[in-house]
Structure 1
Protein backbone atom coordinates (compact mmCIF):
# COMPACT_ATOMS: atom_id res chain seq x y z
CA UNK A 1 0.00 0.00 0.00
CA UNK A 2 1.18 3.53 -0.76
CA UNK A 3 0.35 6.74 1.16
CA UNK A 4 -0.90 9.73 -0.82
CA UNK A 5 -1.86 13.01 0.88
CA UNK A 6 -4.54 15.05 -0.89
CA UNK A 7 -4.89 18.84 -0.75
CA UNK A 8 -8.40 20.22 -1.37
CA UNK A 9 -8.38 23.42 -3.42
CA UNK A 10 -10.85 25.81 -5.03
CA UNK A 11 -9.00 25.90 -8.38
CA UNK A 12 -7.00 22.87 -9.56
CA UNK A 13 -5.23 24.72 -12.41
CA UNK A 14 -4.07 27.50 -10.07
CA UNK A 15 -2.83 24.92 -7.54
CA UNK A 16 -1.01 22.98 -10.29
CA UNK A 17 0.79 26.14 -11.37
CA UNK A 18 1.88 26.81 -7.78
CA UNK A 19 3.09 23.27 -7.00
CA UNK A 20 4.92 23.04 -10.33
CA UNK A 21 6.82 26.18 -9.32
CA UNK A 22 7.98 24.22 -6.27
CA UNK A 23 9.41 21.53 -8.55
CA UNK A 24 6.62 18.94 -8.55
CA UNK A 25 5.75 17.27 -11.86
CA UNK A 26 2.19 16.54 -12.96
CA UNK A 27 1.68 12.81 -13.53
CA UNK A 28 -2.09 12.39 -13.86
CA UNK A 29 -5.24 14.49 -14.09
CA UNK A 30 -8.92 14.50 -14.87
CA UNK A 31 -9.98 16.45 -17.95
CA UNK A 32 -12.57 18.52 -16.06
CA UNK A 33 -10.08 19.53 -14.03
CA UNK A 34 -11.47 17.92 -10.89
CA UNK A 35 -8.21 16.46 -9.66
CA UNK A 36 -4.54 16.02 -10.49
CA UNK A 37 -1.53 14.23 -9.11
CA UNK A 38 2.01 15.50 -8.84
CA UNK A 39 5.26 13.77 -7.94
CA UNK A 40 8.42 14.89 -6.26
CA UNK A 41 10.93 12.08 -6.05
CA UNK A 42 9.09 9.07 -4.62
CA UNK A 43 6.30 11.20 -3.11
CA UNK A 44 2.89 11.76 -4.68
CA UNK A 45 0.57 14.67 -3.89
CA UNK A 46 -3.08 14.65 -4.92
CA UNK A 47 -4.94 17.89 -5.63
CA UNK A 48 -8.74 17.72 -5.62
CA UNK A 49 -11.25 20.48 -6.32
CA UNK A 50 -13.76 21.24 -3.57
CA UNK A 51 -16.34 23.75 -4.78
CA UNK A 52 -17.61 24.38 -1.24
CA UNK A 53 -14.15 25.26 0.08
CA UNK A 54 -13.70 28.53 1.97
CA UNK A 55 -10.34 30.07 2.81
CA UNK A 56 -10.84 29.68 6.56
CA UNK A 57 -11.99 26.06 6.38
CA UNK A 58 -9.83 23.58 8.32
CA UNK A 59 -9.10 20.01 7.22
CA UNK A 60 -8.10 20.84 3.68
CA UNK A 61 -5.71 17.89 3.60
CA UNK A 62 -6.66 14.23 3.95
CA UNK A 63 -4.83 10.94 4.13
CA UNK A 64 -5.36 8.57 1.26
CA UNK A 65 -3.82 5.21 0.57
CA UNK A 66 -3.50 3.45 -2.76
CA UNK A 67 -3.99 -0.28 -2.31
CA UNK A 68 -2.35 -2.88 -4.50
CA UNK A 69 -4.74 -5.53 -3.14
CA UNK A 70 -8.48 -5.74 -3.85
CA UNK A 71 -10.47 -3.54 -1.46
CA UNK A 72 -12.73 -6.46 -0.55
CA UNK A 73 -9.79 -8.14 1.20
CA UNK A 74 -9.15 -5.03 3.27
CA UNK A 75 -12.85 -4.71 4.19
CA UNK A 76 -12.83 -8.34 5.29
CA UNK A 77 -9.79 -7.73 7.53
CA UNK A 78 -11.32 -4.57 9.02
CA UNK A 79 -14.69 -6.20 9.71
CA UNK A 80 -12.92 -9.14 11.40
CA UNK A 81 -11.53 -6.58 13.89
CA UNK A 82 -14.93 -4.92 14.40
CA UNK A 83 -14.28 -1.92 12.16
CA UNK A 84 -17.14 -0.89 9.89
CA UNK A 85 -16.31 1.28 6.85
CA UNK A 86 -17.57 4.88 7.00
CA UNK A 87 -18.41 4.46 3.30
CA UNK A 88 -18.56 1.14 1.50
CA UNK A 89 -16.56 0.46 -1.66
CA UNK A 90 -17.67 2.89 -4.38
CA UNK A 91 -16.89 3.25 -8.07
CA UNK A 92 -14.81 6.32 -8.92
CA UNK A 93 -13.44 7.88 -12.11
CA UNK A 94 -10.04 6.31 -11.30
CA UNK A 95 -11.21 2.90 -10.07
CA UNK A 96 -12.78 2.28 -6.64
CA UNK A 97 -12.49 3.71 -3.15
CA UNK A 98 -13.33 2.87 0.44
CA UNK A 99 -13.55 5.27 3.39
CA UNK A 100 -12.78 4.30 6.99
CA UNK A 101 -12.26 6.24 10.23
CA UNK A 102 -9.14 5.97 12.34
CA UNK A 103 -9.54 5.55 16.13
CA UNK A 104 -9.82 9.36 16.54
CA UNK A 105 -12.45 9.71 13.81
CA UNK A 106 -10.21 10.97 10.99
CA UNK A 107 -11.60 9.92 7.62
CA UNK A 108 -9.13 7.91 5.56
CA UNK A 109 -9.77 7.04 1.92
CA UNK A 110 -8.27 3.89 0.41
CA UNK A 111 -8.17 3.78 -3.37
CA UNK A 112 -7.83 0.94 -5.84
CA UNK A 113 -6.70 2.29 -9.21
CA UNK A 114 -7.95 0.75 -12.45
CA UNK A 115 -5.18 1.17 -15.05
CA UNK A 116 -7.79 1.44 -17.82
CA UNK A 117 -9.43 4.43 -16.09
CA UNK A 118 -6.47 6.05 -14.34
CA UNK A 119 -4.47 8.32 -16.62
Structure 2
Protein backbone atom coordinates (compact mmCIF):
# COMPACT_ATOMS: atom_id res chain seq x y z
CA UNK A 1 0.00 0.00 0.00
CA UNK A 2 1.21 3.49 -0.82
CA UNK A 3 2.42 5.67 2.02
CA UNK A 4 1.25 8.86 0.34
CA UNK A 5 -2.10 10.37 -0.57
CA UNK A 6 -3.01 13.39 -2.71
CA UNK A 7 -6.27 15.26 -2.20
CA UNK A 8 -7.17 16.94 -5.52
CA UNK A 9 -9.33 20.05 -5.63
CA UNK A 10 -10.63 21.04 -9.07
CA UNK A 11 -10.25 24.74 -9.84
CA UNK A 12 -10.64 27.05 -12.85
CA UNK A 13 -7.21 28.68 -12.55
CA UNK A 14 -4.54 26.71 -10.69
CA UNK A 15 -2.08 29.60 -10.14
CA UNK A 16 -4.87 31.87 -8.86
CA UNK A 17 -6.21 29.13 -6.60
CA UNK A 18 -2.68 28.41 -5.36
CA UNK A 19 -2.28 32.04 -4.30
CA UNK A 20 -5.58 31.78 -2.39
CA UNK A 21 -4.61 28.53 -0.60
CA UNK A 22 -1.03 29.67 0.06
CA UNK A 23 -2.33 32.82 1.76
CA UNK A 24 -5.12 31.04 3.60
CA UNK A 25 -3.03 28.11 4.87
CA UNK A 26 0.21 30.10 5.12
CA UNK A 27 2.19 27.53 3.14
CA UNK A 28 3.98 27.52 -0.22
CA UNK A 29 3.57 25.07 -3.12
CA UNK A 30 5.93 22.10 -3.26
CA UNK A 31 5.26 21.36 -6.95
CA UNK A 32 4.05 23.69 -9.71
CA UNK A 33 2.98 23.36 -13.31
CA UNK A 34 0.64 25.74 -15.18
CA UNK A 35 -2.47 23.61 -14.42
CA UNK A 36 -1.46 21.47 -11.42
CA UNK A 37 -0.02 22.83 -8.18
CA UNK A 38 0.58 20.80 -5.02
CA UNK A 39 1.22 21.63 -1.39
CA UNK A 40 3.11 19.22 0.86
CA UNK A 41 1.04 18.76 4.01
CA UNK A 42 3.55 16.42 5.68
CA UNK A 43 3.40 12.72 6.55
CA UNK A 44 2.87 11.69 2.91
CA UNK A 45 -0.18 13.91 2.30
CA UNK A 46 -0.50 16.56 -0.41
CA UNK A 47 -3.20 19.02 -1.36
CA UNK A 48 -3.28 19.54 -5.14
CA UNK A 49 -5.10 22.13 -7.21
CA UNK A 50 -5.90 20.99 -10.76
CA UNK A 51 -7.40 23.08 -13.54
CA UNK A 52 -7.17 20.41 -16.23
CA UNK A 53 -10.22 18.31 -15.39
CA UNK A 54 -13.24 20.53 -16.12
CA UNK A 55 -13.77 23.26 -18.69
CA UNK A 56 -15.37 25.60 -16.18
CA UNK A 57 -16.40 25.23 -12.57
CA UNK A 58 -19.27 27.34 -11.30
CA UNK A 59 -18.90 28.47 -7.68
CA UNK A 60 -22.70 28.30 -7.22
CA UNK A 61 -22.84 24.54 -7.90
CA UNK A 62 -23.30 22.67 -4.58
CA UNK A 63 -20.24 20.71 -3.46
CA UNK A 64 -20.50 17.29 -1.81
CA UNK A 65 -17.00 17.10 -0.39
CA UNK A 66 -14.72 19.25 1.74
CA UNK A 67 -11.08 19.76 2.53
CA UNK A 68 -10.77 19.82 6.32
CA UNK A 69 -8.08 21.63 8.29
CA UNK A 70 -7.85 20.00 11.73
CA UNK A 71 -6.54 22.41 14.35
CA UNK A 72 -5.22 21.75 17.86
CA UNK A 73 -6.11 24.17 20.63
CA UNK A 74 -9.83 23.72 21.14
CA UNK A 75 -12.73 26.07 20.39
CA UNK A 76 -10.71 29.26 20.91
CA UNK A 77 -8.25 28.23 18.20
CA UNK A 78 -11.15 27.52 15.81
CA UNK A 79 -12.73 30.92 16.50
CA UNK A 80 -9.40 32.72 16.11
CA UNK A 81 -8.78 31.03 12.73
CA UNK A 82 -12.28 32.03 11.63
CA UNK A 83 -11.58 35.67 12.48
CA UNK A 84 -8.23 35.59 10.63
CA UNK A 85 -9.81 34.11 7.52
CA UNK A 86 -12.77 36.52 7.57
CA UNK A 87 -10.25 39.38 7.72
CA UNK A 88 -8.72 37.94 4.52
CA UNK A 89 -12.12 38.20 2.83
CA UNK A 90 -13.06 34.52 2.44
CA UNK A 91 -16.65 33.59 1.63
CA UNK A 92 -18.21 32.14 4.79
CA UNK A 93 -20.51 29.17 4.20
CA UNK A 94 -21.11 28.27 7.84
CA UNK A 95 -20.08 30.38 10.84
CA UNK A 96 -18.46 28.73 13.88
CA UNK A 97 -20.75 26.38 15.74
CA UNK A 98 -20.50 23.36 18.01
CA UNK A 99 -21.03 19.94 16.43
CA UNK A 100 -20.74 16.43 17.88
CA UNK A 101 -17.00 16.42 17.00
CA UNK A 102 -16.35 19.94 18.35
CA UNK A 103 -16.25 23.54 17.14
CA UNK A 104 -16.27 23.97 13.36
CA UNK A 105 -16.88 26.35 10.47
CA UNK A 106 -16.86 26.19 6.67
CA UNK A 107 -15.63 28.65 4.04
CA UNK A 108 -15.39 28.38 0.24
CA UNK A 109 -12.53 29.03 -2.15
CA UNK A 110 -13.15 31.24 -5.24
CA UNK A 111 -14.35 28.17 -7.20
CA UNK A 112 -16.87 27.18 -4.53
CA UNK A 113 -14.88 24.29 -3.05
CA UNK A 114 -15.55 23.87 0.66
CA UNK A 115 -12.91 24.17 3.35
CA UNK A 116 -13.89 23.07 6.85
CA UNK A 117 -11.94 23.89 10.00
CA UNK A 118 -12.48 21.50 12.90
CA UNK A 119 -10.58 20.31 15.97
CA UNK A 120 -7.97 17.57 15.83
CA UNK A 121 -9.65 14.22 16.64
Q: TM-score, normalised by structure 1?
A: 0.42
Name whichever structure is richer in helix by fraction: 2
Q: TM-score, normalised by structure 2?
A: 0.42
